[in-house]
Structure 1
Amino acid sequence: MKASRLAAAGTLAGTAVLALSAPAFAHVSVQPEGEAAKGGYAVVDFKVPNERDNASTTKLEVTFPTDHPLASVMPQPVPGWKAEVTKSTLKKPLELHGRKITEAVSKVTWTADGKGVEPGFFQKFPLSVGTLPEDTDQLVFKAVQTYSNKEVVRWIEVPQEGQEEPENPAPVLQLSAAEEGGHHGSASADKGSGDAEAASAKTSAAEPADSSDTTARVLGVVGIVVGALGVAYGVLAGRRRTTA
């Protein structure tokens, strides 16, 4: 009886923990595919989970920061969704590859052509973005999620360092340190150098592997011989005891 009560109590406690922790993960978020280095380009995914069990997510609007505008934003096609990119005129033009950029993307809207994100599922919306700013460690995006029952959830509260996460936090993209040499170097040269380094690393990695394989084989043969000698010795010892 005590064991069953303890098991039941443990189950209830586990359920409570999951129920309390679930909302912290069930919000619109943004993560890079790999790294989002300052001064470079990156592919980022906006992850949209469905928090409702009686409605589907049919629309997502992501507003881009105006204090760190991004001149290049390209959505990757997502089956069942239509993407619309909205641009706005900049108060202060940007310098990009020697050209003056007078407008930047201010919003990207995805609208479902079919059922959208149904209950129990999530959807990723990839974007290629750049160039990423070099004077900040993060970019804050504000997202609006619309459901098929016309409910609207605004993920627009900016998380503050040292404080608890807000109820409807805005997606935050953390930026990593700028890559050495930046993004202005020759792509072909970088590729050639990378290929050479990879080949060198592959060769150096292969040498110890070959050596260790040979050693392993020798040890394996020695082990078999020793094992065979041990068995033979055991048989002879047994015969001697029987004769005695």
Structure 2
Amino acid sequence: MPQKFVLRAAAIAAASALILAGAAGSASAHVTVSSPDAKPGGYAKLVFRVPTESDNASTTKLVVSLPKDHPFAHVGAQVKDGWKVVKTTEKLPQAVKVGDVTLSEAITTVTWTAAAGGVPPNDFDEFALSVGKLPEGVDSLNFPAVQTYSDGEVVKWEELAKDGADKPEHPAPTLKLVTAVTPVAASTEVDNPDTLARVLGGAGLLLGLIGLGLGLRAGRTRKATP
């Protein structure tokens, strides 16, 4: 078989695989949480990504539950055009010390409700919180969420993944708290790609000059021999 036909068939197969992967990804989309600056002991922006998994209904309401075992002393909700936001405060089962503050009550849920429209079918939107301080000595935080559609459907994203088990169908949004550690070697000049290239290039040039000098010397030696 000519090579060009083999390459064309491979390209078509790769494109088909990408399409299937994209379809599978969209089918398994769920409410997630991420943060560009979350660090234990600090303040962070939490971003909840909410896809509307419906062909004919919109997302009209989102309720996010905050951890009661690690409450936040500060919770600021993003103000979004076309959405009403409500923060609900509850009395904690027991007082919790957060930094220099001891909390007996805390904001435990934040609710966004669409005044009109909402998140259209097959689209997504993002809802943000500013919280702090994040707990120390904790690997992750769970934020169960409830998503309501314009047709009355309610989806609860509150299932927790268990070790060794398959990923749950409706997982709770989970934020990983991992402190980034910069390797010591990364700060040295030799690890810079440009610097390393210049060093290697200079070494190669030096070796070339040495080889050329030895060659010329050998040539003169042969000519001087009777």
Q: What TM-score, normalized to structure 2?
A: 0.69
**Contact 1:158 1:169 survives alignment (8 Å):** yes
Cα distance per residue 1:114-138 (max 9 Å; x no partner): 1000013211111001111112111
Give 2:21's aligned amino acid. V
Which residue number in structure 1 is paired with residue 176 of structure 2?
Answer: 174
Q: C-alpha displacement at 1:56, in angstroms?
A: 0.4
- Out of 112, 115, 121, the position equivalent to 2:114 is 112
Q: Structure 2 residue aligned with 1:17, among 12, 16, 21?
A: 21
Structure 1 gap ranges (5+): 180-244
Identity of aligned residues (%): 45
Q: CA deviation at 1:7?
A: 8.4
Cα distance in 2, alignment partners of residues 144 and 13 from structure 1: 33
Contact 2:46 2:129 in 1 (8 A): yes
Q: Which residue of 2 aligns with 1:28?
A: 31
For structure 2, list consecutive stretches of 5 or more residues without a partner in the other structure.
1-5, 182-226
Alignment of structure 1 residues 61-210 onto 2, 5 Å? 61-96=63-98, 98-177=100-179
Distance, in Å, in 1 between the alignment partners of 2:54 and 2:180 is 40
**Contact 2:72/2:98 (<8 A) preserved:** no
Deviation at 1:6, TM superposition (A): 8.7
**Other structure's SS at 2:23 match:** helix
Alignment: residue pair count: 177
C-alpha RMSD of the superposition:
2.7
CA contact (8 A) 1:39 1:178 kept: no
Maintained 8 Å contact 1:157/1:166: yes
Indicate which of 55, 58, 61 corresponds to 2:60. 58
Confirm or deny: 8 A CA contact 1:40 1:178 kept in the other structure. Answer: no
* TM-score, L = length of structure 1: 0.64
Cα 1:10/1:177, change in 2 over 3 Å = closer
